[in-house]
Amino acid sequence: MQRPVSAGPLAGLRVLELSQIMSGPTCGLLLADLGAEVIKIEKLPGGDDSRGYRDPQVNGVSAPFMMLNRHKRGLALNLKLERGQQVLKRLVENADVLVENFRLGTMDKLGLGYDTLSAINPALIYCAITGYGRTGPYADKGGFDLIAQGFAGLMSVTGEPGRPPVKGGNAVSDMNAGILATVGILAAYIHRLKTGQGQIVDTSLADAALQQTYWHAAVWFATQRSPQPTGSAHLLTAPYQAFEASDGWINIGGANQANWERICEVLGHPEWRADPRFASNSERMAHLDELVERINAVVRTRSRADWQAAFDAAGVPAGPVHTIGEALSHPQTLARGMVVETVHPQAGPTRGVGCPIHFSATPTPASTAAPLLGQHTRDLLREAGYGDAQIDELIDEGVVAQAA
């Protein structure tokens, strides 16, 4: 069987994804959406731990697993067995990239570390996503999104003032680590095109969370004062936050003086422009509670749609605070192809979040559903040169598994 022909700017790039749950699968999903052939190699027994996330599920299949693993082919492999390690080494011979998010040292203990695999394929780009990176006193620690958000200080600036620490509503360090891994892989690929040389790409949940603190870090470096939580408000400018309308919340972005003056007009209070408490951004930040109280009192009198129309007409950045359902069903979201439909062999028709990057010359390929555990095991082993009798033997020995 021939390898599948793909489209997209990364067509022809072959990726082995030995990762699970979120950070590594996010990287693999982005690469697949950009046209790479991504082979998801899952552990035996059980596969990716997110297969066990049964709430919610669709016809018995984990919805979180399907979200992050569409457009990949699946091979189930027991890397604890010597013959399983031999299978991976054979796959590495013709791979461009390997992505893993194990604890530091796990692959080396299996005899599958970078030194071993790069000796087989010197052009291999080996991407490792760990909790804290491959160096430093915390290198040996495992990583979890919650722990990384706390470590990086994100939880100290999230939520409302005076309340307990709050983590981001999404797994920001996990997902950002996957994005940074993708960026690193593409940079390493450009280097390889120039030199033929592979290398290690090293990022972590902690690095990914720290990278999200740019503005807050600027405050700390300049003043030696750690910023505090500000709810939906901006750290540096006002008014720039959510306000309560009669039927929900709307964000208003007064990010500069001109926008502030337009806001005053739309709200029917042009006198606020000359009020010494609100005349400049510095004064507005110093009197933020008073400013928010006055704006909220006005905004509550009309609906989100009314205010949206008024702010749009005045050229003021504004937008509703959507629920997830509202966001995913919005005409703008749909027009951008940010919702994709696939047909899963067990779950049936499903939807997922589409590729957030768009190209004029190399459009991204149509998406396929996440694989069943071992769905493409036989095809992939055939492509690697194994005969059917050999594959049957590997299945009988528990080295690999194929979907029923």
DSSP summary character for residue 159? S
Burial letters for 314-331: b for 16+ Cβ neighbours within 10 Å, e otherwise? eebbbebbeeeeeeeeee
Residue 37 phi, psi (nearest 5): -85, 110
Query: For residue 39, what are its two tokens?
Result: 């082979």
Q: From the candidates 48, 96, 145, 174, which is the catalytic residue?
A: 174
241: helix, strand or coil:
strand
Q: Side-chain half-sphere of 265: how many Cα atoms within 13 Å? A: 13
Q: Is the peptide bond before 239 cis (omega within 30 degrees of 0)?
A: yes
The rounded distance, in Å, linking the Cα atoms of 25 and 20 is: 6
Contacts of residue 71, Cβ cutoff 8 Å, sequence gap at least 6: 29, 32, 33, 38, 365, 367, 368
8: helix, strand or coil:
coil
The answer to whether 388 is a known catalytic residue is no
The rounded distance, in Å, linking the Cα atoms of 176 and 34 is: 17
The rounded distance, in Å, linking the Cα atoms of 101 and 178 is: 10
Question: Are the CB atoms for 371 and 73 separated by under 8 Å?
Answer: yes
CA distances from 18 to 106, 126, 357, 361, 399 (A): 12, 11, 24, 31, 16
Q: Which residue numbers are catalytic?
A: 174
